[in-house]
Chain A
Amino acid sequence: MDTLEQVVLGNAVAATVLALLASAVGLVCRRPALVHSLWLLVLIKLITPPIWQVELFQLPTSTARETAEASVPAFHSAATTEGADLRECLREDREQGDGDESLVLIRQEAAAPETQDSVPLDSPTSANQWKWSFWKPLLWSVWLSGTLAWLLVASIRVIRFQWLLRWAEPASEELQERVQLLAECLGLMSIPKILLVPGAVSPMIWPIGLRPRLLVPHGLLDRLTFEQRDTLLVHELAHLRRRDHWVRALELIVTGLYWWHPVVWWSRQAIREAEEQCCDAWVMWALPAARRAYASALVEALDFLAGARPVLLPPAACGLGQFQTLKRRLTMILTGTTPRALSRLGFLAVLGLGFLLPVVPTWGQSDDDEKQIDKKDVIKKDIIKKLKDETLKQIDVDTIKKEVRTALDKELKIDLGDLGNLKVDLDLDLEGLVQELEDLGDVKDGTGSKELNRARAEIQRAQAQIQRAKAQIEHYQQVLQKAQARLTDLEAGAKANADKVIKEKTIKQEKLSEDLRNKADWKEKVKDKEKVEKNKRDLYENMIEKSKRNFDTEKSRGARSKEDELERRFDKMMREMEELGQELKRRRSENRSSPDQPKRF
C-alpha cells in the first residue's frame, strides 16, 4: 500500500510540475498544438505507472534516516540513550581490557527487549507513523466514495442524454453529403452520423456509442449561410480528426481517480481552450477564405444560444472570462497565423517528455551519508558473512565482539569529526548487528538461535499437546473397560437369572407331573375300591333277594312247623350268611391279591 500511495503522490507532484510548465508555455507559445500536447501529458502523467525512479532533491541527514530504505533495520528503540550506554561500555571495556565479555551485548539485548515485534521510532517519527496509520484508511475510503459518486453521476447523465437523443432526427441527404465531402477533405476516415436536435444547444460531438455522432441544432442551421455552416461543420469534424473524443475518455478516467487534485480541473479547462484554438486553426487551414464567415458563425451561434435565455446582467467572473477568451479566439481567427499542428521540434520535445513520464520522484540522501552507509554496509556485510560462514557451535562471542569493536574503531577513526550524527548511525547499526548476531548464533547462553528456541518451544508445546491427548485416550480407554466389565456383569447376571428361572420352572414342572402321577394312582385306587364296594353291594343285594325269596316260599308252604322250620331255616340262613360273610372276607382278601378273577358267589 505504501508504494501505491507513493506512486499516486509522486504522480500528483509531477503532474503539478508539468502543469506549471504547460501554463508557462501557453502564455508564451503561439502553437496551440504544443500547449494542448503538454496539458495532455499532464493528464497522462497522472495515470502512468512508475517505471524509473529519480532522485529529485537531497534531504538533510535526519530525515534521510527516516525515509531511507531498509538497509538499516527498523530497530530504533530509544536509540540515542542506548547507544550512548553502549559506546560507554565499549570504551570502558577497551580500557579495562576484556571485562565481562557478554555484558555489553546482554545489556544491549536487555535494553531492547520487545523491539523485535513492534517498531517504536524516535518520538517525532513515531507520532507521524501513528497518525498516518489512523488517517490512511479514512482517506482511502473518502477517495473511493468520491470516485464512485462521480462515476454514478456521470453514468446517470450519459444515460439521460442518450435517452433524449431519441428525439433527434437524422439530417437531410444534402447535409450528409456535404459533411462527407468536408470529412474527406480533412482526412477523416469514418464519417460521423449527423443528427438534428431540437433546442438551443451548440453544435457538438457526442462520442458515446458505436459511432460518434455530430449533433447540430436545427434552429441554428436555419440562421446560417452555407459558408458559415461549412465552417462550423469543419470545426466539429476537426475535433473528430484530432481524436478529441478520446481525450474526453481520458479525462473521464483521470477525473475519476484524481478528483481531489485541483490540477486535474485546471488541466481540463486548459485542454479545452487549447482544443478550440487548434480546431480554429484547422478550420483556417481547411477553408482559408472563410475566416469572416467562421467568426460571424461563432457569434451567430452565441446569439442562438443566448436567445433562449436572455441574460440581463453578466455574472461576475465567468461571463467576463469567456468574453475575453472569445475575443482572443476571434482575433486569432481573423488575423490568424496560428499553425495547425506541432512543429518538428515541438513534436520531439513532447515525445521526449512523454518518455520521461513513467518516472517517480523520490527523495535522495546526501552524499556523505551515502558514503557512510555504504562503508557501514560493507563492514557489516563482511562481519555477517564471516559469522554465517562459521557453524553455530563455533561462533565465539569473544571474536564477534572483537570484530565489532574493530569495525567500530575503524569507523570511529574514519569519522572522528562527525561524532554527533555518527552516534545515532552507529547505535542503530550496532543494534542492527546485534540483532543479526542474535539471529545467527548464540549470544547469551549458547542454547541456540532465536529461531531454534522458537522451534523448540513449539515442539514442547506440541509434545504437551500430545501428552494431554494421550492422557485423554487413556482415560477414555479406562472408561471403556469399565463399561465393558459392567456389560459382562450384567450379562452374567442376566444369564444366572435366566438359569435360575429355568431351573425353578423345571422343578415346578416335575412337581406338577409327579402330582399328576400321584393323582392318577390315587384315582385308580379309588376306582378299584369302588369296584370292590360295588361288588360287595351287589353280592349283598343278591343275597338279600335270595333270602327274601326263600322266606316267601317258606311262608307260602307255611305250617306251624313253619315257625320252627322258619327258625331252623332262619338259623340256617344265619349260618349261611355267616358262611357267606366268611366267604366274602375270604374272597375279598383274594380279590385284593388278584382282582381280575371273576366274582363267584
Chain B
Amino acid sequence: MAKPPQDVTDAELAVLQVLWSEGPSTIRQLTEAIYPDGGPAYYSTVQKLLERLEGKDCIRRERTDGAHVFSPVLRPEELIGRRLRAMAEKLCGGSLTPLLTHLVKAERLTAKQRQELRVLIDELDQKPRKTPRR
C-alpha cells in the first residue's frame, strides 16, 4: 500500500542522520549526539521528535528493559530522494524559481497515457523517415 510520503522537518532529519550513522540508539545517546552542550530541556525535545518520527513510520521503537532503543526504518536514500524530488519540483520550470534544466517533467501522466506513448513510438518507428535537414 502506498502511503503518501510525509515530509520530514530539519530537526527530525538531524535525528535520523544520527541514527543512520550511529545505528540504533537510546534517547540519551541521541541527545548527546545532537546537542552536546545541551541540558535536560533538549532531552524532551528529542523525545518529542522521536515520537513524531514514529508517527510517520520513519523509525521503530524497541522496548528493552531499561531505556527504549530506536532504529531507523527509512533508508537515507529514500528520504533524500524524496526531498530531492520535492526540491527539484520547486526548482523546475512551472514553479516560481526555475533553475533546473531537466529532461522531462511529467509526473502527472497516468499509466494509460504512458502506454499510449509507447504505442505511438511503435507506430512511428514503423513509418519511413524523411532525410533530416541540416
Task: Name A's B-contacting residues (CB within 8 A).
Answer: 150, 153-154, 157-158, 160-161, 164, 167, 197-208, 217, 219, 232, 235-236, 239, 244-245, 248, 251-252, 255, 268-269, 272, 275, 284-285, 288, 291-292, 295-296, 298-299, 301-303, 305-306, 308-315, 318-319, 322-323, 326-327, 330-331, 334-340
Contact = CB atoms under 8 A, between A and B. Distances in A.
A298 B100 CA distance: 18
B2 A248 contact: no
Contacts of B130: 335, 337
A353 B83 CA distance: 43
B81 A208 contact: no
A201 B88 contact: yes
Nearest to B88: A201
Interface residues of B, number: 47
Interface in B79-117: 80-85, 87-88, 90-91, 93-94, 96-111, 113-114, 117
Contacts of A334: 121, 124-125, 127, 129
Contact of A327 (B93, B117, B134): B117
Contact of A337 (B103, B113, B114, B133): B133
A528 to B, nearest CB: 113
B106 A311 contact: no
Given A199-B80, A295-B125, A302-B104, 12 more contacts: A153-B96, A164-B80, A198-B80, A219-B81, A255-B96, A291-B125, A302-B114, A306-B114, A314-B109, A314-B113, A319-B109, A336-B132
Contacts of A319: 108-110, 113
A201 B90 CA distance: 12
B110 to A, nearest CB: 5
B133 A339 contact: yes
A179 to B, nearest CB: 15
Nearest to A31: B133
Contacts of A153: 96-97
A255 B97 CA distance: 9
A305 B111 CA distance: 11
A197 B98 contact: no
Interface string B30-53: 000000000000000000000000
B76 A239 contact: no
Contacts of B134: 339-340
B120 A331 contact: yes
B65 interface: no
B101 A302 contact: no
A198 B77 contact: yes
Given A288-B132, A327-B117, A248 B101 contact: yes
Contacts of B81: 197-201, 217, 219
Interface in B7-40: none
A269 B95 CA distance: 10
A334 B129 CA distance: 8
Contacts of B120: 327, 330-331
A292 B107 contact: no
22 contacts: A157-B87, A158-B97, A161-B88, A167-B77, A199-B78, A201-B81, A201-B88, A201-B102, A202-B103, A204-B101, A207-B101, A232-B103, A236-B103, A248-B99, A248-B100, A255-B97, A272-B93, A302-B114, A323-B113, A326-B106, A330-B124, A334-B125
B76 A167 contact: yes
A306 B118 CA distance: 15
Best-buried of A198, A245, A308 by chain B (most CB within 10 Å): A198
A-B pairs with the 7 shortest C-beta distances? A199-B81, A204-B102, A198-B81, A198-B77, A334-B124, A319-B108, A154-B97
Contacts of B93: 268-269, 272
Contacts of A296: 118, 121
B131 interface: yes
A299 B121 contact: yes
Contacts of A311: 107-110
B117 A198 contact: no
A284 B84 CA distance: 30
Contacts of A314: 108-110, 113
Best-buried of A275, A302, A309 by chain B (most CB within 10 Å): A302
Best-buried of B91, B107, B111 by chain A (most CB within 10 Å): B107
B109 A199 contact: no
Contacts of B109: 302, 306, 311, 314, 319, 322-323, 326
Contacts of A236: 101, 103
A150 B100 CA distance: 16
A154 B91 CA distance: 8
A204 B103 contact: yes
A301 to B, nearest CB: 5
Best-buried of A202, A309, A314 by chain B (most CB within 10 Å): A202
Contacts of B78: 198-199
Given A201-B85, A306-B114, A301 B103 contact: yes
A601 to B, nearest CB: 128
Nearest to A206: B100
B65 to A, nearest CB: 36
A435 to B, nearest CB: 53
B84 A199 contact: yes
Contacts of B129: 291, 334-336
A252 B97 contact: yes
Contact of A306 (B82, B90, B96, B107): B107
A34 B26 CA distance: 63
Contacts of B102: 201-205
Contacts of A310: 2, 111
Contact of A161 (B87, B104, B127): B87
B83 to A, nearest CB: 6
Given A154-B96, A198-B78, A303 B101 contact: no
Contact of B91 (A157, A303, A340): A157
Given A164-B80, A199-B84, A200-B85, A299 B132 contact: no
A299 B117 contact: yes
Contacts of A315: 108
Nearest to A295: B121
Contacts of B117: 299, 302, 326-327, 330
Nearest to A216: B103
B124 A251 contact: no
A246 B74 CA distance: 38
Nearest to A204: B102
Contacts of B104: 202, 298, 301-302, 305, 326
Nearest to A298: B104
A164 B121 contact: no
A315 B134 CA distance: 39
A506 B117 CA distance: 137
